[in-house]
């Protein structure tokens, strides 16, 4: 079976190795490229204000790597992670395990909703929560921005337009404040002609696509806007990603937790 791995380069190798060891053909077609934040001074400022935060939430392992590249570890706030990959990145960055709050390894899902179940009872009204995330590559400023409740619909305003809005809403409604900082940018891939040809073939040759981001699915659609995906197969690591795949045109969509062993089990079910 041919399996298409679309994760960013820093996260892809473990998946490629496991797929090859299982006897399948692993093809790497990245759908998200990672780059520095448009405004690295905002990350530096977040480190300078380190003692302000009661917690720092990281949306991904990429957020951890790019944020910690700016400064070595300091004592201070709690560290929040939505899943095992982000938790592992924090450990590799030097954060002590007892300083990290994350869903348990056997959690049914790894996302902001699962994280909130872990941290909601310990949230304090004093001290903001910093959410470290990525953003689309653009000239817009990535300075530290604050989410405030909107009187009309109780939704926090996210000045950057993307991010963990649901989690921010819960934090604000619980009486604390939320600030965002962009630690890295996410860009569509620059595929070669050969990569485009492989992707076109994989729309109908029984290949299985692996998606760990809704944005990756949308980048695929943008790369090949005239391709129909109703004969293609994919494994996704969250219900929202699965929904995006369906909306793009994938019919055969299998959902797995974002843990490599679970992804491999889902792939075997399609073999």
* pLDDT value, residue 155: 39
Other C-beta atoms within 10 Å of 134: how many?
25
pLDDT surpassing 70 at residue 227? yes
* pLDDT value, residue 34: 87
pLDDT in tens, 159-214: 333 337 889 999 999 999 999 998 988 888 889 999 999 999 999 999 999 999 99
* pLDDT value, residue 237: 93
Burial group, residue 104, by CB count within 10 angstroms (0-12, 13-18, 19+): exposed
Mean pLDDT of 67-74: 76
* pLDDT value, residue 150: 43
The upper half-sphere exposure of residue 110, i.e. CA atoms within 13 Å in the direction of its Cβ, equals 28
Q: DSSP states of 246-261 as a string? A: HHHT--EEEE--SSHH
pLDDT surpassing 60 at residue 235? yes
At residue 128 the predicted structure's pLDDT band, cuts being 50, 70 and 90, is very high
* pLDDT value, residue 139: 41
* pLDDT value, residue 69: 86
Each as own residue / partner, the long-range contacts of residues 197-205 (CB below 8 Å, 24 or more positions apart, any chain) are: 198/27, 198/29, 199/4, 199/29, 199/223, 199/224, 199/227, 200/224, 200/227, 202/2, 202/4, 202/27, 202/29, 202/232, 203/227, 203/228, 203/229, 203/231, 203/232, 204/231, 204/232, 205/2
pLDDT in tens, 98-116: 999 999 998 988 889 999 9
CATH topology for the 34-186 domain? Rossmann fold (3.40.50)
pLDDT surpassing 80 at residue 82? yes
**Distance from C-alpha of 268 to C-alpha of 3, rounded to nearest angstrom:** 11
Whether CATH 3.40.50.10090 fits 2-32+188-270: yes
Mean pLDDT of 125-135: 89
Output the average pLDDT for the chain.
87
Instruction: Retrieve residue 250's tokens.
Output: 């994938």
Domain ranges of the chain: 2-32+188-270, 34-186
The alpha carbons of the chain give a radius of gyration, in whole angstroms, of 19
DSSP-based three-state secondary structure for 269 = helix
Strand order in the sheet with 252-255: 25-28, 2-5, 208-211, 233-236, 252-255
């Amino acid at each position: 079976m041919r399996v298409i791995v679309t994760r960013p380069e820093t996260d892809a190798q473990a998946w490629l190795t496991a797929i090859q060891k299982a006897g399948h053909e692993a093809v790497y077609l990245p759908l998200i490229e990672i780059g520095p934040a448009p405004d690295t001074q905002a990350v530096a400022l977040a480190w300078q204000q380190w003692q302000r935060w009661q917690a720092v939430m990281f949306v991904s392992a990429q957020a951890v790597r790019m944020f910690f590249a700016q400064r070595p570890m300091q004592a201070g706030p709690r560290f929040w992670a939505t899943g095992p990959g982000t938790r592992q990145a924090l450990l590799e960055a030097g954060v002590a395990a007892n300083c990290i709050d994350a869903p348990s390894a056997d959690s049914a899902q790894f996302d902001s909703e699962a994280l909130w179940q872990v941290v909601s009872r310990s949230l304090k009204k004093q001290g903001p929560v910093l959410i470290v995330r990525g953003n689309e590559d653009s000239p817009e400023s990535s300075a530290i921005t604050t989410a405030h409740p909107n009187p009309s619909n109780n939704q926090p305003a996210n000045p950057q337009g993307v991010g963990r809005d649901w989690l921010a809403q819960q934090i604000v409604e619980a009486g604390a404040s939320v600030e965002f900082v962009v630690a890295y940018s996410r860009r569509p891939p620059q595929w070669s002609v050969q990569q485009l040809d492989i992707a076109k073939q994989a729309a109908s040759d029984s290949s299985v696509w692996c998606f760990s981001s809704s944005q990756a699915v949308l980048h695929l659609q943008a790369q090949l806007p005239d391709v129909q995906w109703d004969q293609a197969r994919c494994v996704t690591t969250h219900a929202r990603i699965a929904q995006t795949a369906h909306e793009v045109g994938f019919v055969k969509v299998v959902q797995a937790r974002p843990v490599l062993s679970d992804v491999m089990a889902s792939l075997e079910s399609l073999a």
